[in-house]
Copies of this chain bind each other. A is one copy, B any other.
Amino acid sequence: MEARKNEKNEARAKGGNKGSQADRPEVISQVERIPNVSGLPKAVKRRVYALKRLQVQSAHIEAKFYEEVHELERKYSGLYQPIFDKRHAVVSGAVEPTDEECEWHSEGEEDELADDLKKKIALEEKKEHTTPADDPKGIPDFWLTIFKHVDMLGDLLQEHDEPVLKHLQDITVKFSEPGQPMSFTLEFHFEPNSYFSNTVLTKMYKMKSEPDSSDPFSFEGPEIVDCEGCKIDWVKGKDVTVKTIKKKQKHKGRGTVRTITKEVPQDSFFNFFNPVKATPDGMDEDLDFTLTADFEIGHFFRERIIPRAVLYFTGEALEDDESFEEEDVEEGEEEDLDEEGEEDDGDFDPTA
């Protein structure tokens, strides 16, 4: 019912789709699809084509507009930073907020309401006092809880990821420098842990703010067109993105049988840092789908989770996100690989 558009939600995570099929037929159909152009007197049709040329010029001005908005976002990310730093300090327990900083429910609400809530809270607090009051450091599992609350991430999250994500301390976003190709980089900051030696895992999303010359009218603003992960330096045996499977092998000549272990990939959130590569037109449909989902997630981290983390922790932000459709990342890989494993076992010589 609402034309509910958020200026900051710029990027269309169209990814591999873009350009692949859509454009070329598009152009031809333009003539067919439009009776009131092909039907027009030649002189009038000429003028319509003139307007279409002007429209292409507009699209290029629009692209510049989006570049300036990107600049503006860079500028504002600096203004948000002190707030995000404070958030990180509270989450990690480095800073204990003052009573004033925690005064929540009296703010911006009518008194009777505040009273209502004060009662409510008083009640809860009484409950707590009957139980042994423990005081953990900061806000435990802050980011892991967010991952569990957001379906789009829950789909990626595996049980074996959870102990690793308990060490996730902060997620931040960096925008490309002015003059550089438009991009943003998600940075996942981890406390020292027994899983990998990296302190930061990064995922960079490249954007394009430029009308497609073969279909300039489809331009709707910057688009994520590619992404780049990072190498995770896993501690030996701690890599949650692989599992080891046992295999029997028979020596063709000697006929002796030995069991070897082989590492095969498995589902894990941390595969997010090892994305499939975007390829030009005609890429595999599954990959295209996976990539589009990945772009969705990158966009969602940048636009929703990082700016509003606490609201995803409490759950308050969740109902606002109907506009973001969630998409499962292809989960076929593991099975495929297992089968491959099985096939290997097929090598085992039955004539033995």
Footprint of B on A, CB under 8 Å? 1-14, 24, 27-28, 30-31, 33-34, 36-38, 41-44, 46-58, 61-62, 64-66, 68-69, 72-73, 76, 79-80, 83, 86-87, 90-91, 96-97, 101-105, 107-110, 113, 116-117, 120-121, 124-125, 128, 133-136, 138-140, 145, 213-214, 216-218, 220-221, 292, 296, 299-300, 303, 307-311, 313-317, 320, 323-325, 327
- The complex places the Cα of A80 from the Cα of B323 at a distance, in Å, of 30
A217 touches B56 (CB 8 A): no
| Dominant SS among interface residues on chain A | helix
A324 to B315, CA, bound (A): 28
| Contact present for B1 and A310 (CB under 8 Å) | no
Contacts A124-B38, A292-B2 given; does A108 touch B213 at CB 8 Å: yes
In the complex, what's the smallest C-beta–C-beta distance from A154 to chain B, in angstroms? 15
Interchain CB contact under 8 A, A52 and B125 = no
Q: Is the CB of A5 within 8 A of B2?
A: no
CB neighbours (8 Å) of A303 from chain B are 3, 5
User: Is the pair A58, B80 in contact by a Cβ cutoff of 8 Å?
Assistant: yes
Q: Which of B1, B72, B213, B308 contacts A327 (CB 8 A)?
A: B1
**Minimum Cβ distance to chain B for residue A309 (Å):** 8
Using known A-B contacts A31-B117, A55-B310, determine if residue A139 contacts B47 with beta carbons closer than 8 Å. yes
Note all chain B residues with C-beta closer than 8 A to A73.
65
User: Can you give 16 contacting A-B residue pairs, CB < 8 Å?
Assistant: A5-B5, A5-B6, A6-B221, A7-B10, A7-B65, A34-B316, A36-B313, A46-B102, A47-B97, A53-B104, A55-B308, A58-B307, A64-B79, A65-B76, A68-B72, A108-B216
Complex contact B6–A220 (CB within 8 A): yes
Q: Is the CB of B11 within 8 A of A117?
A: no
Closest-by-CB residue of B relative to A96 is: B47
Which listed residue, B5, B8, B117, B299, touches A28 by the CB 8 Å rule? Answer: B117
- Determine which residue in A42, A213, A320 has the highest number of CB atoms from chain B within 10 A of its CB, and name it: A42
Of B80, B102, B103, the residue contacting A61 (CB under 8 A) is: B80
